[in-house]
Structure formats: C-alpha cells, structure tokens
Amino acid sequence: MKPLPFHHALKVKEDVCFGCTRCMMICPTGAIRINRGKAHVNPDRCVDCGNCMEVCPVNAIVIEQDDFQKIYRYKYRVAVVPSVMIGQFKEEITEEQIYSILMELGFTHVYEAEFGSDILHEISGRYTTYADRSPVISTFCPAIVRLIQVRFPSLVQHLNLIKPPLDITAAYAAQQLIENGARAQEIGIFYVTPCAAKIAAIKSPQGESKSGFDGVINMDFLFNLVHKTIVKQKHKENDTIPQQRNLSGEAVVWSLTMGEAPHMPGRSLAVDGIHNVIEFLEKLENEEIHGIDFLELRACDEGCAGGILGSGNRFLTAERLRHRAESMDGISSHVKQEIQAQGEYLRHNLKLERIEARSIVKLDDNFQTAMEKMEQIQDLLKKLPHVDCGTCGSPSCEALAQDIVQGKADLSRCIFYQRRQELLDSRHAKTNLERMIKVWGREKLEGS
C-alpha cells in the first residue's frame, strides 16, 4: 500500500511567483521544478523546511494556517507557545504581559511548548531516548525527521522514538483539563508555530496515528496581534495572568542549537542548518561517524530562533532566551506533584510508533528497471553541460537527467543541447522556442 502523501504547509501563490528559480536552486530535497513560468513543489519530496520561503524575493511562498476564530469552537482554548515566541519581543515587554494578552485574545490556558522536556525529565528522572540504532537522532525538528525518511531511508532506525516536548505538553494540558472535569471534545489545543515543518507534522504526524493538537496558529500572525494589543493598552495594568509554571532553564533554551544535545547521555553533538545536516548525515550513512551517542539536528540556523515565522533577529532571540534561562529556577514542587499524578498516563503516551522510510532517491521499485534508468541517466549526463543553470526548469543537469528517465522532461529542454540541434538543422529553433515557452511561459520568452 502506498503511504498517504505528506501534508504540506508551504504553498506557492501562482499569481505572485515569477519563476526566478531561487527556491528551486536552494531546495535541499530537489522538490521544486519550474513549469509554465511558476515554481511547482513535488509533495513527495518536500520536507517543509522553509528554505524556499526564505529566499523568495516576492513572498510568493506562504504558509497556510488555521483561522484564528477556530479556537472559539472549544470551551477550553489552550495555546501551546514555543519559548522563542517570547524572544520575538523587546526585553521591555515582559512574559507576563505577553501571556496575559494571549488570554485576552481568547485563550483560556497558556503553556510553553518546551515544558514537555521538563515533564519528560520529571517522570523519567532523566531525558530518555529510545531508538534501535546508535547514535540516536533527535526527533525534535520535524523537517529533519522527514528529511531522513525521504533522503536517508537507511537511517530511520536512528530516530528517537520519544515524542518531542510540544506533544508531551499537549498531552499533559489535555489530561490536566480532563481531570478537572472537562470533556475531551470541549478542549481545543493550538500550537503557535515558528515554522512550516511543525504545521505539516501536526497535520500529518509521523510515528503517531493522530496529533494531540486541534489547530495551528502562525507565530508571525500572533506576534502582530499581540503587538497591536500592547500599543492599544499602553497604560493598562495586566489583569489576567496565566498560571506561572517556572520552566527550567534547560527547557527555555531547548529549541536553540545545543539546547538538547548537552543533556543527553553519552557524547553528543549539534548540527543546525539543513544543508549542514545533509552533509553530516551523508557521513553517518557512510559509517564514518564513530563514538557519538546522540545527534541534535535542526533544519534552521540557531534552531527554532531561526524559524521561518520568526519576526525578530535570530541571534537576538537566542540571546534573550539564554538570558531568561539564567533566571529560571525550574518547575515548582506543586507542578512536580501535578506531573507525578499524571505519571502513569504520560508514560503510556510518550512513545512514537516506528517511523517509516519513504525514499525519494530510488529510480524504480524494480531493480532491473532501475538499472535501465540508471544507464540512461549515465548516457544523458555525457550530453549535458554540468553547469546546473536551471534554465531547463530542473535544479541541476543531474536532476534533468532523472526527470527525463522518469518521463517528466526531455533532453531538448537543455539550452546547450538546443544550440547543438539548431546548428545541425535550423528548423529546430522554432520547436525549441515552443519548448521553452512550456517551461517559462510565453511572457518571458517573447519579452514584455
């Protein structure tokens, strides 16, 4: 059975995209092609890392989100906010102020997502990991989980099958409400996301049958909403401050680079930036990495502080979080008791199911067919110029060769090959122009 397609949070606005190829050239999984002058994303390949959105010069790539009004479908409206949210604001704006505004905006409860790492520590006595193979790879960053599924299928057994903190927090928040008399259908848990990958992970979770979240709100949207309210109520006293949970300092910086790695048993290291991660995973796959027990791998520079939906500077955000972490004295004994009271339930809801590989690298399921295609690719590569110009609508000569054998393109899309054809027979000029119109649209080819 073919697995269900990945859900994707990233969408291309075709009316805005002008086919500049920047996204296609940066995509770490080669998911983007240009067709009729617009970028098209292959859903099997995309891992929602957000690199394309970051380089787009006209904001043609957007992240879908749930309608904010959706929160009012529920009696209990829980916001699970990543700690980097606080780091978006200037230091003069206190956490109390930010959280009280979230309550005024309509939420009934506010939790910090990274609280989940404190919960895990409290119920296990340490930060547990669970994987078939060493080194264990963190499942904190969903873009990395997907990257491994599609590009490094042999490494899925290294993935840590303990739920990431935000999911543990969601489970805890829901259970807390239920124990206090709420009915499950009355509870709406919303994640405030700093990136596209987390949305995609919530909409089509890997390693669990159903996500603990009922909706997602983009962090930049909420940032603007909170900011507007701050300006409006400049002189007003805060009246609705949610319960303070006093996270540990570790939890506050958990989502930053080196937030997780130092607390894991054995030797560990952290790599951030998806292209750096790919380079590292190649080495791991080649069995060149020895003596390391835990890998913290994050798609964004500076971890979640570099999330695509961040409004602030990633380095300032990270600094504010580190500064804040210094003043935290950990969860209170009261909260510890609450966690322990739920211990049994949480321990049962901590593990992820096996995460399946879904290779995009194979040319065909059948070995003989794959061999034939590979031979064709090797032949095609001899004819291509290896300049990776992208004018054919594929990100590299190699990608074009693959597209050709998969029946998605033909060799005469290559402008070098076209010149050779036209030299032999000038009649090719017209058909080649038509071909390029298919890739780039009439406007670009005819000049406007």
Partner 1 sequence: MHFEFEIEAGDFSNAGYASSQIKKILKQLNLPNNVVKKAVVALFESEVNVIGHSFGGTVAIDVENDRLHILVSDTGPGIEDVDLAMSEGYSTATKEIQEMGFGAGMGLPNIKKNTDYLDIRSQAGDHTEIEMLIHFNQESAKDRQS
Which spans of this chain sit near partner 1 (rule: CB under 8 A)?
153-154, 282, 285-288, 359, 361-365, 367-368, 370-371, 374-375, 378
Phi-psi group of 19: left, alpha or beta (phi > 0 → left; psi -120 to 50 → alpha; rest → beta): left
Residue 104 or 364 having the CB closest to partner 1: 364
Residue of 201, 200, 120, 130 lying closest to 159 (CA atoms): 130
Q: Going edge to edge, which strands form the sheet with 187-193?
A: 109-112, 76-81, 187-193, 215-218
Q: CB of 364: closest distance to partner 1 in angstroms?
A: 7
* Closer of 18 and 367 to partner 1 (Cβ): 367
Nearer to partner 1, 153 or 441 (CB): 153
Give the nearer residue to partner 1 in terms of CB position, either 95 or 285. Answer: 285
DSSP per-residue string spanning 181-196: T--GGGEEEEEEESSH
The helix/strand/coil state of 251 is helix
Query: What single letter denotes the amino acid at residue 268?
Result: S
Q: Is 135 left (phi over 0), alpha (psi -120 to 50) or beta?
A: beta
CB of 198 to partner 1, least distance (A): 28
Q: Where are the alpha helices (DSSP H) in 308-388?
A: 314-326, 333-341, 343-348, 367-383
Residue 218 structure tokens: 């983009």
Question: What distance in Å separates the CA atoms of residue 100 and residue 107, rounded to the nearest whole number?
Answer: 9
Cβ of residue 176: shortest distance to partner 1, in angstroms? Answer: 42
Shortest CB 258 distance to partner 1, Å: 24
CB of 357 to partner 1, least distance (A): 9
* DSSP single-letter state for residue 11: E
Q: Which is nearer to partner 1, 158 or 314 (CB)?
A: 158
Nearer to partner 1, 351 or 362 (CB): 362
Nearer to partner 1, 104 or 398 (CB): 398
The least CB distance from residue 368 to partner 1, in Å, is 8
Give the nearer residue to partner 1 in terms of CB position, either 14 or 375.
375
Closer residue to partner 1, CB minimum distance, 225 or 292: 292
Q: How far is the CB of 361 from partner 1 (least distance, A)?
A: 5
Q: Tell me how far, at minimum, the Cβ of 139 lies from partner 1, in Å.
A: 20
Assigned token pair, 329: 């004295």
Name every residue whose Cβ is closer than 8 Å to that of residue 176 and which is 6 or more positions away in sequence: 338, 342
Structure tokens at 371: 């061999």
The rounded distance, in Å, linking the Cα atoms of 154 and 361 is: 12
CA atoms lying within 13 Å on the CB side of residue 87: 31
Least separation in angstroms between residue 158's CB and partner 1 is 12
Based on CB atoms, which residue is closest to partner 1, 365 or 425? 365
Minimal distance, residue 379 CB to partner 1, in Å:
10
Per-residue burial over 154-163, b if 16 or more Cβ lie within 10 Å, else e, is ebbbbbbbbb
In the three-class reduction of DSSP (H, G, I as helix; E, B as strand; rest coil), residue 290 is classed as coil
Say if CB 296 and CB 361 are below 8 A apart. no
d(CA 196, CA 54): 11
The CA distance from 149 to 66, in Å, is: 26
